[in-house]
Amino acid sequence: MTLTRRTALAAAAATFASPAVLRAQAVRELTFYYPIAIGGPVPRIIDGYCEAFQRQTGITVKPVYSGFYGETLTKAVTAIRGGAGPHFSVLLAAELHSLRDMDILVPIEEIDASAETKAWLSGFFPAFMANSLADGKTWSVPFQRSTSIYFYNKAMFREAGLDPEAPPRTWAELVEAGRRLTRREGTNTRWGVQLATNHGTAQWTFGALCNQVDHRLMNEAGTEVYFNHPRAIEAATFWRDLAFAHQITPQGVTEWATLAPNFLQGTAAMIWSTTGNLTNIRANAGFEFGVAGLPGKQAPRTVVGGGNLYLFKHANPAEREASLRFARFLTSPELAADWCIRTGYLAVRPDAWETDALKRYTAEFPAALVAKEQLPVATGELSTYENQRVYKALNDNLQALLTGAKSPQQAMADAQAEADRVLRPFRRG
């Protein structure tokens, strides 16, 4: 892979070194907040990209690794309000409305409105740009993007009499496979399937489940949510039944960070996770595994997620231009392909999938194409004003549901009532 990375970095240098963004020569250092939410060597990869950018431009980019997305958001906002914040950060794409409301972002068009930059912006997958655009401006750039997929242990499928080349595509098939895969032998339990239910992740899982019954959780303006809709209740009921009725997944809270280790250690036969774990699992699984689109009630459906690059308005004009220069470097076709190969996150530009490196990789490892092929049946992640407060309202009630403390109807009604209270000031008319 060394040659591939060097070639990618060299090509990226040629891509971003355009006249419209070369005015930032006076800038010598930028600070970059970055969330670490998955396993694997992601910090080393980001460090390498920053070092390559420094060699080619003389601009040092200092990444600050700051925990999960929610923690990174809190640290970034606190630092900015204290006058010493980062110049840019990777934050959840779903935070668009909340970050705009905080008035801390600068849209790309205010940094550089050239035809060249517009052409670059037009080169991303439209599904990912949906979380970047508002009021005719571009407020973030897709980078660390994913869909929710599931990983399954093919050896366990064979042992249970299941076809390892025909993973579940519907809820009914998931339940049947889960029953056959679950094992209870004293304290050595193997779960048929595990889904993350912790704060910060449960809303993503729930968004996928709702899409699987053709339900969207919010309006495009981010001012309304539809948690107590009958289809949302149906999705919540199915999730609860996996634990309580079918007993193929644990009751209570399952932490996101435990999913990949449980799968690798053999205590979960299937997990719902991110494409961003693909390379990690491929590198560490001592068994044959499969990758598939999430099953739906009738057919596969999923949710997109992950982080975008946001540029902050407190930076001076030269720092903004240098930050945009780095964003173009990081999202060049060659680096987008390299990032996909080395992490499993989706390359966010169609032209990245046409690079020789990514063509070779997907020919060798077709599982890497699963997430891309899911984009037509994916929905956007829950995104509203006061996003973290709305997430908390939903996640608190999802956890009450999954511990057995509330019925699906009560949990969704309570989540709706709290979200309505939070969002009321943002409704107009």
Name the residue ranges covered by the structural domains of the chain. 2-146+305-375, 147-303+379-426
Q: Can you give the pTM of this predicted structure?
A: 0.86
Chain centroid to CA 309 = 12
pLDDT of the residue at 40: 56
pLDDT of the residue at 16: 53
* Tokens read off for 250: 């644990």
The reply to whether domains 2-146+305-375 and 147-303+379-426 share a CATH topology is yes
Longest dimension (CA), the chain: 67
pLDDT of the residue at 1: 43
Among 182, 378, 354, which residue's Cα sits nearest to residue 267? 182
Angstrom distance (rounded) from CA 352 to CA 357: 9
One digit per residue, the tens of pLDDT, for the chain of length 429 reads 443 555 566 566 555 544 444 444 589 999 999 998 554 588 899 999 999 999 999 999 999 998 888 889 999 999 999 988 999 999 999 999 999 999 999 999 999 999 999 999 999 998 888 889 988 999 999 999 999 999 999 999 999 999 999 999 999 999 999 999 999 887 789 999 999 999 889 999 999 999 999 999 999 889 999 999 999 999 999 999 999 999 999 999 999 999 999 999 999 999 999 988 888 899 999 999 999 999 999 999 999 999 999 999 999 999 999 999 999 999 999 999 999 999 889 999 999 999 999 999 999 999 999 999 998 899 989 999 999 999 999 999 999 999 999 999 999 999 999 999 999 999 875
DSSP category for residue 167: -
Sign, Cα dihedral of 265, 269, 273, 275? positive
Q: 2-146+305-375, what's its fold?
A: D-Maltodextrin-Binding Protein; domain 2 (3.40.190)
Angstrom distance (rounded) from CA 294 to CA 270: 11
Coil vs helix vs strand at 275: helix
| DSSP state letters, 111-162 | H---HHHHHHHTTS-HHHHTTTEETTEE--EEEEEEEEEEEEEHHHHHHTT-
Q: 147-303+379-426, what's its fold?
A: D-Maltodextrin-Binding Protein; domain 2 (3.40.190)
Backbone angles phi, psi at 288, to 5 degrees: -80, 130
**How many CB atoms within 10 Å of residue 314?**
16
Angstrom distance (rounded) from CA 422 to CA 386: 7
pLDDT of the residue at 13: 56
